[in-house]
Structure 1
Amino acid sequence: MNSKPYSPPTFFACLFFSVIYSKVLIAETFFEVKQTLQEQVVVLDATIEAIDKATLSAQTSGRIIKINFDTNDYVEKDSVLLEITNREQGAQLAAAEAGVLRAEAAYNEAKLTYDRYKKLFPKGAISQGQLDQAKAAAETSKQLINAAQASLTQAKESLDYTIIRAPYSGVVTERHVEIGETVNPGEPLFSGMSLTNLRAVTEIPQRHLQALRDNPAFIITLSDGSKLYSDKITLFNYADAQSHAFKVRIDLPVTDKLLLPGMWVKAEFVRGKSSTIRIPGSAVLTNNELNAVYRNVEGKAVLTQVRVGTKLDDEVEILAGLEDGDKISIDAYQKLKQLEAN
């Protein structure tokens, strides 16, 4: 903070600020400049993106026979996106069901034989070897049932793969196939994203890394001026090789405000406190990148150039040009009109 206001000669050459002094200050409202201890806020640009986004791929082979949605359509969870021919999968399911029945029948027969041998063995009608053989056959048949049931489960899954459903409610961002195409496992079918769970993504300079670690919370300002608060952040532990900035993901709370992936928002966090000067934004005259205020100096309005910092709500931070005790016109443009009229 400079101790004395400064006014470069080139600034007063601007026609916009041609009036420097007035003869007598007209009765008006003044603002007394004071240094205060205030939070220092870092404001960053952030992009909204969906947390839940995915590309659905084929898990079985077949020809596409029906497509129910297209790009930009909104779909509910479990809605059928498309259908694939299922004759081959249906035949595999029928064969697997028959295999289970065959294995169960073989097991029942083996178990009955083993039960009979257990009754005959004490009477000496069969040998120990025959009894052991019947027991092994029964146990093997039981395991064959498990194998047949596993094949049945696989066949059912394969049949289910012919109907593609939405994993969550959201918007289709891309359709990769057309009706009549033959697809194989791994080929992309649909891409989409959820509009419910969203996050803001930004990057912070290296110099602010420790401050964010100490106070991991953000205020997100939307385009309509409304604000969202979130302390659920993910700070990457490595920096971008070119920018040396660290990526931050900020999970956003559910809101009824218009918030869609791809939107720009402002993300701000507190990096500490320091002594600073803030004045009303109405007290500042602006011409391109030049800024000035009207100071009350011994009853005269003196146009004084200032260097401004961040703007927060209706206040402007002053980095140089003013000091404690200065009195300035609270409405600089109104003051300019009064001086021009005189």
Structure 2
Amino acid sequence: MSTPSITPKTPSRRFLLIAGATGTALAIVIAASGLITRAVSASANAQWSGSNAVPTVNLAKPQVGQASAISLPGTIQPFQKAQLYARVDGYLKSWSVDIGAPVHAGQTLAVVDAPDLDQQLAAARGDLAMAQANYRLATLTATRWSDLSQTGAVAQQVVDEKAGDREAKRAVVSALQAKVRGIEALSAYKRIAAPFDGIVTARKTDIGALITAGSNGQELFEVADLRKLRIYVQVPQTLAAKLKVGQQATFTLPEQPGQTLKASVAAISHALDPAARTMLVQLQAANPGNVGAGAYCQVTFDEPAAASNAIRIPATALIVRNAGSAVAIVGPGNKAVIRDVKLGRDYGDAVDVVAGLSPSDRIVDTPPETLRTGDAVRIAAPAPAKTKAGA
């Protein structure tokens, strides 16, 4: 039995033309859709890039005619202070005051036992008594020889010798009297006394301690007058030139926050420290009653309002360059302008500009590093004011 042959059916020419046209149209549609999508995306990217190429900047708030003030650290010292040393050698016999005790001028603080000095005084008084006795005898002798000379019984030479001996004995008496007075004056220093009214701030000796006279010995006491204070401040050269004796200032203490005390400039050294370029200035102030010697304080010097052409701006608005300082301002058409300025006093977080700006300039705060003159900028909208709770 034979197998029948199968002849494949060939598509018609019309079918092939329709199918080809349909595929071509579909390809054109897909390609056109891709081109349109890419064009839209490119346009959006261009718009986004153009929008972000213009930096948004904040404007600084300049201040005109502000008063200047500078605060500097100071050291408080008593108006008077004395370290007391012994004037005589010996041993400390007793002391009667301790640290913190108020004393008045001439009050006894301690007594030194000086037996060697006592013996010197006794010997000097004995020598004086002997000299006085010799002088009395010489005076009688000279008087008798003078009477005998009236009768011609003795030569005038002998009379003159006796008179000279009397004067010599008188000179010895005078010298020994001065010696006794000197030792008595030195003996008075066995009593250590307060030189002025004040407070004992240190006692550095005790009973039985060996005492050596002079500043090479041990300091015994320290007395300070704290009713009035001296405040010492190292002032920068730029400020020191403007200070005058009698100028008012204020100072604060860390242990008394919020309390401001008054002081006045009492002395200016008129000599700059070559290393720090600062000048020592002394102020004086009344002690409110609880400030001790050596205390730290913060002294504030106030100055009149700055000149009318000085504009105070935040330090963050400065552009520091090798050629000098500059600021960026927003000019017409919101175009940036980099302008050179001349600076005045630096306050740390702010600085005075004395030339290069006007009060109407729109100053850029924290300008971008890449900002150049002519660049377009966008000014940021001001932050909304905070409303009070319950308003």
**Same fold by TM-score, threshold 0.5 exceeded?**
yes
Asked whether the equivalents of residues 71 and 174 of structure 1 are also in contact (C-alpha less than 8 Å), the reply is yes
Specify whether residues 339 and 54 from structure 1 end up closer, same or farther in structure 2 by C-alpha distance, changes over 3 A only. closer
Q: Does 1:126 align with 2:154?
A: yes
Distance 2:222 2:190 in 1: 17
Instruction: State the 1:246 CA deviation.
Output: 1.5
Residue matched to 1:206: 237
Distance 1:340 1:69 in 2: 62
The answer for the alignment partner of 1:220 in structure 2 is: 250
Offset from partner CA, 1:36-57 (integer Å, 9 cap, x none): 4x65444322221124222212
Q: Which has the higher contact order (CA 8 A, sep 6+)?
A: 1
**Bigger mean CA offset, 44-53 vs 170-179:** 170-179
Query: Does 2:276 align with 1:243?
Result: yes
Aligned-CA RMSD value? 4.1
Aligned to 1:298: none
How far apart are 1:119 and its partner, in Å? 3.0
Letter in 1 for 2:387: Q
8 Å CA contact retained: 2:90, 2:115: no
The unaligned stretches of length 5 or more in structure 1 are: 1-7, 13-32, 279-288, 292-307, 327-334
| Structure 1 position 255, deviation (Å) | 4.9
Shift in Å, 1:134: 1.3
Give the 3 Å change call, closer, same or farther, for CA 65–338 of structure 1 in structure 2: same
Tell me the secondary structure at the aligned position of residue 158 of structure 2.
Answer: helix
Structure 2: state its 5+ residue gaps. 1-54, 318-344, 363-383
| Residue 83 (structure 1) aligns with | 111
Contact 1:40 1:274 in 2 (8 A): no
Cα deviation code 1:312-335 (max 9, x no counterpart)? xxxx98858994699xxxxxxxx8
- Give the total of aligned pairs: 276
Q: Which has the larger radius of gyration?
A: 2
Aligned to 2:76: 48
2:386 partner SS: helix
Aligned-residue offset at 1:133: 1.0
- Partner of residue 177, structure 1: 205
The question of whether the paired residues in 1 share the 8 Å contact of 2:235 and 2:279 is answered with: yes
Give matches, 1:311-322, under 5 Å.
none
CA distance in 2, matches of 1:336, 1:110: 110
Using the aligned pairs only, state the percent identity. Answer: 22
* Aligned pairs (5 A) from 1:1-342: 35-36=64-65, 40-186=68-214, 187-188=217-218, 189-212=220-243, 217-223=247-253, 225-237=259-271, 239-250=272-283, 252-256=284-288, 258-263=290-295, 264-268=297-301, 270=303, 273-275=306-308, 323=359, 336-338=385-387
**Residues 54 and 234 of structure 1, relative CA distance in 2, 3 Å threshold:** same
Which residue identity lines up with residue 204 of structure 1 in the other structure?
V
User: Structure 1, residues 129-159: CA drift from partner, whole Å, max 9, x if none?
Assistant: 2122112111111111221112211221232
- Distance in 1 (CA, whole Å) between partners of 2:63 and 2:241 is 29
| TM-score, normalisation: structure 1 | 0.66
